[in-house]
Amino acid sequence: MRLPILASLLLVTGVAFAQAPYKTQGTIEPGTWTVLSDMNESRNGHTTTYLADGKVLVTGGYDGTQNLASAEIYDPATDTWTPTGDMDSIRFSHTATLLDNGKVLIIGGWNGGFLDYKSTLLYDPASGTFTHGPDMKYGRSGHTATKLNNGKILIVGGYSNISGNTTVVEIYDPVTNTLGEFASLNKGRSYHTATIVGDGRVVVAAGFNPDYGFQMNSTEIYDPVLNTWTEIGNLGTARDFAAAVYVEYENAVFLIGGRIFNGFEYEGITSVEKLSLSGDSWVDFDPIPEPQSYIQAFPFEWVDYDVFIPCMLVPGGTNASGFGVDLTFSGTYAYDFVAASWIEVPMFFHDRYYYAADKHQQDIIVTGGEGGTVELFKASEFIAIHTTLNNTLSLSPNPADNYINITLSAEKEVNNIEVFNMMGDVVLQVNNVYPTQNKIALDIHHLPAGNYVVKASGNNQITSGTFIKE
C-alpha cells in the first residue's frame, strides 16, 4: 500500500564537528529561530545534512508540483545557497547520511509513481558530484538509515513496490563500498523511528503497515554485535510519523507524538512514551502540550550560566495527515529533565511540518517543509531556564595553566568528562573515565585563555563546574 505524497517524512542523523560562523538575515538572539536565505527550490520530503566543513547539503524532495533530482549547498559563512550536481533521478522520502570519510550516502526513495529505488548514491563534497553506489536487494522509501558505532550504515524497513513494507535489513560498509543483507526484522514497517542508544544497539519503534492495523505499536532492538533482533513490550499507543530521541541523561529512548487513525481520519497525538534501556519496557511519559506529527526531536544539554540542563527539543509539526485541512504549528517545545516539565521556547517564523533538519553542535538547521523556508535555532545560546543542580564537582587550581584537577564526591560515578567553551562548543572530551581516589587530572595546555565549563556525567547524573584558563 502506498501512502499519499503528503505522507512521507525523512529523518536524518546529526554529526558534531567544529563550529562555523553564521551570517544571517539579522542577528541571532539567544534562544530564537533566525530566518536564513531561501533555498533555490522549495522542498518537502527532502534531506538536510551537515557536511564535515560546516556547509549543508539538501537533496531531492517535492516542490509542490513535481519531485526533484536537484541538490544545493548552503554556506553559513555567506548565508547563500548554491546548486551542486544533480542526482541521477528524482527522489522523495529517501535518506542521506554523512559517512566518516566525508561523503554522503543517499539511499532509495520514491519517484512519485510506482518505483521505489534500490540504488544508492555517494555525494563527494570535493567534486560536488554524485556517483553510483551498490544496489540494495529491493527498492525502498520511508525507511531509516542509522550510522552504527563502527561507521557502517544500518538500513531498516521502508516501503517497496515489490515486497510492500519490507523486513529486509541491509548494512552499507563505506570501507569496501558494499551492501550486505543481515538479520531481518520480525515485522516489516515504514515511517518508523530508528534510534541508536548508548551501548550501540538500535531501537526501531512504531511505523506503518496495513497488515498490523496500519499504525504499529511494536518495537524491535537490533544488536550489531550479535546480528539479532529482539522484540520487546509493545507501545501503549500505536503510531507512525513520530519522533524518537535517545537522552543519555536518562539512558532512555523517548517516542514523541505521531499520528493515529481515529476511525474517520488521521490525527496528531500528544502521547509520549519512555523506553528505559535498563528495563526494555515502554511507560507513559508527560505528554507534549499539543498534538504533533511529522516531526523530529533532538537531545540537548543547555547551559544556564554554569549549569547544564539536559533537554529534548521538538519543533513544529501538524495535527493532521495531509487529508483535508491541516493544523500546522510554528511552536517549539522542550522538555527540561531537571524541572521535569515541558516548556515552550521561541516559535518558528513560519508554520512548518514535513521539514528536514540536522543538528550541528547545539544548533539546528531546519529546511523546507509544508509552510516553511529555512531557519536556524542556536540552542547553545539559550539562557531561559534558571535551575540549580547539586554541584558535587570541584576544580583546582582555578585559574589553571596546563592542568586542572577535578575532585568528585565519593558517591559520584563518572563515565564521561566534557569541557565546553562559553559558546557551548565541546573543546575537550574524555570517555570511559575511571577516577583514582575520586580525582581526575585534565591536560588543558592546548586550550586558549578564557572561561570554560566542565561537565561530568555518569549513572544518569550530571554535575558541572567552571574554571578559568590563563
DSSP annotation string for 305-348: TTEEEEEEEEE--BSS-SSS---B---EEEEETTTTEEEEEPPP
Model pLDDT for residues 358-372, shown as the tens digit of each residue:
988 778 899 998 755
In the predicted structure, residue 346 carries a pLDDT above the cut 90: no
Model pLDDT for residues 216-240, shown as the tens digit of each residue:
999 999 999 999 999 998 999 999 9
The whole-number average pLDDT for the span 438-453 is: 82
- Grid cell 516548556 is found at 343
Q: Which of 69-83, 117-131, 322-336 has the least mean pLDDT?
A: 322-336
- pLDDT value at position 169? 97
Report the 10 Å Cβ neighbour count for 437. Answer: 8
- Asked whether 91 and 25 are in contact (CB, 8 A), the reply is no
- pLDDT value at position 166? 95
- pLDDT value at position 324? 46
Q: Which of 144-158, 228-242, 248-262 has the least mean pLDDT?
A: 248-262
**Residue ranges of the chain that CATH labels 2.60.40.1930:** 393-469
Rounded to whole angstroms, what are the CA distances from 183 to 11, 140, 168, 412? 22, 17, 8, 40
- pLDDT value at position 12? 29
- pLDDT value at position 459? 60
CATH architecture of the region 33-381: 6 Propeller (2.120)
- Asked whether 51 and 102 are in contact (CB, 8 A), the reply is yes
Q: How many CA atoms lie within 13 A of 298 on its CB side?
A: 28
In the predicted structure, residue 322 carries a pLDDT above the cut 80: no
Burial class for 127, CB neighbours closer than 10 Å (0-12, 13-18, 19+): exposed
The whole-number average pLDDT for the span 58-62 is: 95
Q: What angle do CA 120, 125, 131 make, to 5 degrees?
A: 30
In the predicted structure, residue 115 carries a pLDDT above the cut 50: yes
In 346-449, beta strands by DSSP E: 356-360, 363-367, 374-378, 393-396, 403-408, 416-420, 426-431, 439-443
In the predicted structure, residue 331 carries a pLDDT above the cut 50: yes
- pLDDT value at position 337? 84
- Three cell numbers, residue 351: 508554520
- pLDDT value at position 262? 79
pTM for the whole thing? 0.77
For 297-325, give one letter per residue: b (16+ CB within 10 A) or e. bbbbbbbbebbbbbbbbbbbbbbbbbeee
The whole-number average pLDDT for the span 33-45 is: 90
The model's confidence at residue 439, banded by pLDDT at 50, 70 and 90, is confident
Collapsing DSSP states into helix, strand and coil, what is residue 212?
helix
Burial class for 172, CB neighbours closer than 10 Å (0-12, 13-18, 19+): buried
- pLDDT value at position 381? 52
Q: How many CA atoms lie within 13 A of 417 on its CB side?
A: 23
The whole-number average pLDDT for the span 383-409 is: 67
* Mean pLDDT (the chain, rounded): 82
In the predicted structure, residue 407 carries a pLDDT above the cut 70: yes
In the predicted structure, residue 326 carries a pLDDT above the cut 70: no
**Residue ranges of the chain that CATH labels 2.120.10.80:** 33-381
The whole-number average pLDDT for the span 12-18 is: 27
| DSSP-derived secondary structure letter, 216 | B
Instruction: Measure the CA–CA gap between 132 and 106, rounded to whole angstroms.
Output: 9
Percent of the chain with pLDDT over 70: 80
The model's confidence at residue 307, banded by pLDDT at 50, 70 and 90, is low
- Grid cell 554522503 is found at 104
- pLDDT value at position 148? 97
CA-wise closest residue to 183 among 195, 201, 196, 197: 201
Report the 10 Å Cβ neighbour count for 238. Answer: 21
Partners of 119 in the beta sheet?
none
Instruction: Measure the CA–CA gap between 63 and 38, rounded to whole angstroms.
Output: 13
The model's confidence at residue 31, banded by pLDDT at 50, 70 and 90, is low
Rounded to whole angstroms, what are the CA distances from 374 to 9, 76, 331? 17, 12, 15
CATH class for the region spanning 393-469: mainly beta
